[in-house]
Amino acid sequence: MSEQYALAPEFASQPRLTIPSNRLVLRLFNLLLRLQRRGFSFGDRVALRTHSIRGDAGNEIPVFEIAPTDLTGTAPALVDYHGGGFFFSYAAGHLSTAERYALEGRCRVFFPDYRLSIGHPFPAPFDDCYATLSWVHAQAAELGVDPQRVALLGDSAGGALAAGVAQKAVDRGENPICAQILIYPVTDHETKTESARRFTDTPFWKTASNLSMWKVYLRASEHAKSGGQAPVPPYAAPLHRESFAGLPPAWVEVAEFDPLRDEGRQYAEAVEAAGVPVAVREAKGAIHGYDLVEESPTAEAMFKERMAAIQGFLGNP
């Protein structure tokens, strides 16, 4: 019940849904999302270009490029991976936030429409996200991107994708990244933290939904086929990594009343323990997905702090 959580007023009335693992139901949710974002349009201060790049499986990955209309020459880039449990498409709120990143960060935002786990379990969504980063670097000159100022950002499941992509880039010694910006990130498939045990009926996202997310995402892995006996695949759950040394600096946001709160904290602690600069912020009274709540004072305050950090990472005062 809502009484058990001291939520900020703008979150108290948000819906409490349990997201199932049934893929037919998930497809219906996605249809609603696509209808919801049809009314969205970018403002006249940004220009939108749509690129089509080829993934490792020969698939086409649409990538939206959002940039200020008056941005010329070489500029920093932000590769933005949307959240949605790996199985939901992006919402209008994701596009609106990407527009703000471009305008306030004075950068080019690259937003991949990666394959969803409903039809393509891990590693397909992750592979599309890594392919996007590789493409930005390979085409940096043509895109007008400074390859030394490329940052990764992701919210929720997008945070897992951003962190995993950063890890793979470091392991391969390619595609340099100046920062990983993780917003209430997914990092741990086990769903056994204190916050996962406590926050079982929070608005937007609850523990049961988290379990559904991992069931769908990992269903093709040896980990799932072995009933959890085999290790989780590399880069799927970023917290399950042997060494965090050498990763790019991190900005990590968590929400006070979020089942994922503690795994976000634990990821930040692991990165910091490896000697990587980390900044952690907790949104008090907030829920998972607070960025998607319109006119939220809490979300706006967090966004301003995040934007200051992004400007610092990208070298744009």
**Helix locations, the chain, DSSP H:** 9-12, 23-36, 92-105, 124-138, 140-143, 157-172, 194-198, 207-217, 222-225, 261-273, 297-314
β-bridge mates for residue 180, sequence order = 152, 250
Q: What is the pLDDT of residues 203-260, one digit of tens each?
A: 999 999 999 999 999 999 999 999 999 999 999 999 999 999 999 999 999 999 999 9
Q: pLDDT 10s digit of each residue in the chain, 317 long?
A: 444 789 999 999 999 989 999 999 999 999 999 999 998 999 999 999 999 999 999 999 999 999 999 999 999 999 999 999 999 999 999 999 999 999 999 999 999 999 999 999 999 999 999 999 999 999 999 999 999 999 999 999 999 999 999 999 999 999 999 999 999 999 999 999 999 999 999 999 999 999 999 999 999 999 999 999 999 999 999 999 999 999 999 999 999 999 999 999 999 999 999 999 999 999 999 999 999 999 999 999 999 999 999 999 999 75
Residue for token pair 């100022």:
149
Determine the residue type at 249: P
β-bridge mates for residue 61, sequence order = 53
Q: In a 10 Å sphere around its CB, with 0-12 CB exposed, 13-18 middle and 19+ buried, how is residue 142 labelled?
A: exposed
For the domain made up of 2-314, the CATH class stated in words is alpha beta
Catalytic residues: 156, 258, 288
The domain ranges of the chain are: 2-314
The Cα–Cα gap between 40 and 31 comes to: 15
Residue 204 confidence (pLDDT): 93
Cα separation values, 316 from 102, 142, 144, 148, 223, Å: 12, 21, 16, 13, 43
Q: What is the pLDDT of residues 51-79, one digit of tens each?
A: 999 999 999 999 999 999 999 999 999 99
Residue 2 confidence (pLDDT): 40
Quick check: pTM over 0.85? yes
